Structure 1
Amino acid sequence: MRPPYDRSAVRRGVVHLGIGAFHRAHQAVVFDDALRAGDLRWGITGVSLRSAGVRDQLEPQDGLYTLVVRDGAGETTRVIGAVLNVLVAPENPAAVIAALASPDTHIVTLTVTEKGYPIDRASSALLTDDPDVAHDLASLDTPRTAPGFIVAGLAARRRAGLPPFTVISCDNLPGNGGLLRGAVLAMARAHDPDLADWIARDGAFPSTMVDRIVPATTPEDISALAGRGFEDRAMVKTEPFTQWVIEDRFAGARPDLEALGVQLTADVAAWEAAKLRLLNGAHSGIAYLGGLQGLDFVNQVVGAPGGQGFVEALWDEAAATLDPPPGLNLAAYRAALMARFANPALEHRTRQIAMDGSQKLPQRLLAPIVERRAQGLPVDALALAVAAWMRWQGGRTDDGSSYKVDDPLAALTAAAVRDDPCDMVEAMTAITAIFPSAFAHDDELKSLLGDHLALLAGQGASAALARYVV
């Protein structure tokens, strides 16, 4: 079961910031494929920016872990050996900077989630009132943010006469490469304008689109694998489908990505928009409408009365805002997505998707609503998904069970919860950190949201979904 290459000969060519389950089921598999193909430059130094959990799981296993791929036909397993070590940034920030500054490092990848980008999405400016950003603007001796670590690493490379590395954001944000580049340049300019100019001239921040459903691993998953003879506390589970589209812009060496199944393109934006508004947008609607009903898994929601009809209606609305790139057949893409959602073996939890909704809604649901309203087009299904998110902020399912709203703006949204649906819509759409000004000024849209919210409060999410039975 061990990887078929000599791990002692592998060099650490990649530093990954935010080494959670998604990275280990997606980008790490691509770099592992490169190692299996004989290119031993692409071992990974993983970095946890917060907790030691992943390090403590992987270290006793020498970085090895099992990738479990599940679909209705069964499952396959594979041991991934690309992760050579894991650093915990708060414990040893100097070691992280040293890894970034290593001559072997050519690529830095990130999966730090939407809330890991301390950037104002409207202006692309750093959030200087964020305590971690303020700390890094004052000193980069012990960085706390991803942009801070990247700048510290690049500064060390410049002092050593090394070229910049390529920085690849793999988070679900439109124009993720440009956003990260802007944050890094702003951080660098605050410390050394010449450093910022060097990064701007010689560095590379390609935008990307990543796609693979990776549910959280459960104790039951670990026990099931142990029953097959593999004790693995760091295992990850996923689906067969995987996709990685990268803007073809690199600062230096890279593996033969095309041979590894990665798509290189001159413009990622159209791929990003399709994934965010179809897959991710539907996922958010499913998460809140399913969660309010007490349904645990995505496949249960699309299998409920009206579940599939709701998703198709949302896709009809969102698809009209897209300009599909060459090679993307939207009808085939939608059919494939529905099959992925219906995969019962995956057990993708609605509450996992529901986390951090304030960071996800703007690009997944709010942007297509604004665009359709500007064209005078209906937004019934998109608005229902947003209304379900609003009701989710109340912390109770339709049967009265309580739960914690896991979101960085949970205090703000909790303060906007009201008994009257129309009052609640007014309070929620006034949160400018989430909603664009077009919502606050659109009385017809707010009325529609209020109607949906009243239905959800009065009859429940199951009744709201039942309207889409075909």
Structure 2
Amino acid sequence: MTDRRLSNTTRQALPAWVAVPGYDRNRVLPGIVHLGVGAFHRAHQAVYVDDCLAAGEMDWGIVGVSLRSTETRDALAPQDGLYTLAVRSSDSESLRVVGSIVSMLVAPESPGAVLAALTDPRTSIVTLTITEKAYLRAAGGGLDTAHPDIVLDLANPRTPRTAHGFLVESLARRRAAGIQPFTVLCCDNLPANGATLHRLLVEFAALRGTDLARHIADEVAFPSSMVDRIVPATTDADRARISDQLGIEDAWPVMTEPFCQWVVEDDFPAGR
């Protein structure tokens, strides 16, 4: 194990066989806010975005938001958002450093900063991988309006705790400022995930006001998507092995398989 961390500076010292971002990360602008920066996002959506950046589409950097834990931010911030993707097959493993995450926020620490990122006119897409439980659905499939976090967010819209609260408050602020709504792209494997999230947010917004609910119902796009990739949990042994191969420490590499799929409905009025 080395005492040097992966970063924009130390990536220059990586072995030649390790793939690294070939684009100038200083030129990358934020265009996506992602809620739920777990291992799956970093092995899936962030990799697709990294490919877009490598192709010269420099307006799609990711602002990663952790809705609960500080762990991902604490691991990646000292690494300038960089991390290693280890792609394992039955007989080989390749390493790739991914650079698409340009900043990290922790919602409970800085709800105002998260709302500012969501309200930023440069933000055209908001993606989510927050797990099925975090959609806070009642038994019938609608919004669980009695959930304590929903109740708190309705009472305190400037300091939300849920994805619902952050999305609806930022859409309200964008509307008030004359900023086009962002597209909301659910990347959790829920049935009809776009329509499901659309319905939940409209129900939440209706508890704040009918005009806001109508705006979200009529003006905000919620394309459906399907994602597929196996992403096992990273172990301490994985961290040690990857760091040894890199010659520098990566506090949180991500393990995955070669197969990857992302099927997305083409409904992006704010750009893609």
TM-score, normalized by the shorter chain, greater than 0.5? yes
What are the equivalent positions in structure 2 for 1:449-460 lying under 5 Å apart?
none
Which has the larger share of helix? Answer: 1
SS in 1 for 2:171: helix
Deviation at 1:121, TM superposition (A): 5.3
> Which deviations, in whole Å up to 9, do the C-alpha atoms of 1:49-74 show, x marking residues without a partner?
00100000000000000111001121
The structure with more radius of gyration: 1
For 1:81 and 1:130, how far apart are their aligned partners in 2? 37
User: 1:190 and 2:207 equivalent?
Assistant: yes
Question: Of residues 65, 72, 85 in structure 2, which corresponds to 1:54?
Answer: 72
For 1:95 and 1:130, how far apart are their aligned partners in 2? 25
SS in 2 for 1:58: helix
Residue type of the alignment partner of 2:212:
L
Residue type of the alignment partner of 2:155:
A
Structure 2 unmatched ranges of 5 or more: 1-10, 12-19
For 1:85 and 1:13, how far apart are their aligned partners in 2? 12
Question: Of residues 191, 194, 199 in structure 2, which corresponds to 1:174?
Answer: 191
What is the TM-score with the length of structure 1 in the denominator?
0.53
Partner of 1:85: 103
> Which deviations, in whole Å up to 9, do the C-alpha atoms of 1:24-45 show, x marking residues without a partner?
0000001110000000011000
> Which deviations, in whole Å up to 9, do the C-alpha atoms of 1:345-375 show, x marking residues without a partner?
xxxxxxxxxxxxxxxxxxxxxxxxxxxxxxx
> Which deviations, in whole Å up to 9, do the C-alpha atoms of 1:407-434 show, x marking residues without a partner?
xxxxxxxxxxxxxxxxxxxxxxxxxxxx
User: 1:205 and 2:222 equivalent?
Assistant: yes
- Contact kept, 8 Å, 1:158 with 1:164, in 2: the verdict is yes
User: 1:237 and 2:255 equivalent?
Assistant: yes
Question: Of residues 251, 262, 278 in structure 1, which corresponds to 2:269?
Answer: 251
Question: Of residues 136, 156, 180 in structure 2, which corresponds to 1:118?
Answer: 136
Which has the larger share of strand? Answer: 2
Partner of 1:136: 153
For 1:215 and 1:121, how far apart are their aligned partners in 2? 30
Question: Of residues 161, 167, 180 in structure 2, which corresponds to 1:163?
Answer: 180
For 1:14 and 1:217, how far apart are their aligned partners in 2? 25
Q: Tell me the matched-pair count.
A: 253
Q: Considering only aligned residues, what root-mean-square deviation do their CA atoms show, in Å?
A: 1.1
Deviation at 1:149, TM superposition (A): 0.5
Percent identical among aligned pairs is 56
Structure 1 unmatched ranges of 5 or more: 255-470
What is the TM-score with the length of structure 2 in the denominator?
0.91
Residue type of the alignment partner of 2:98:
I
> Which deviations, in whole Å up to 9, do the C-alpha atoms of 1:96-150 show, x marking residues without a partner?
000000011000000000111111252x321122110111122311111111110
SS in 1 for 2:226: strand
Residue type of the alignment partner of 1:170:
C
What are the equivalent positions in structure 2 for 1:35-74 lying under 5 Å apart?
35-74=53-92
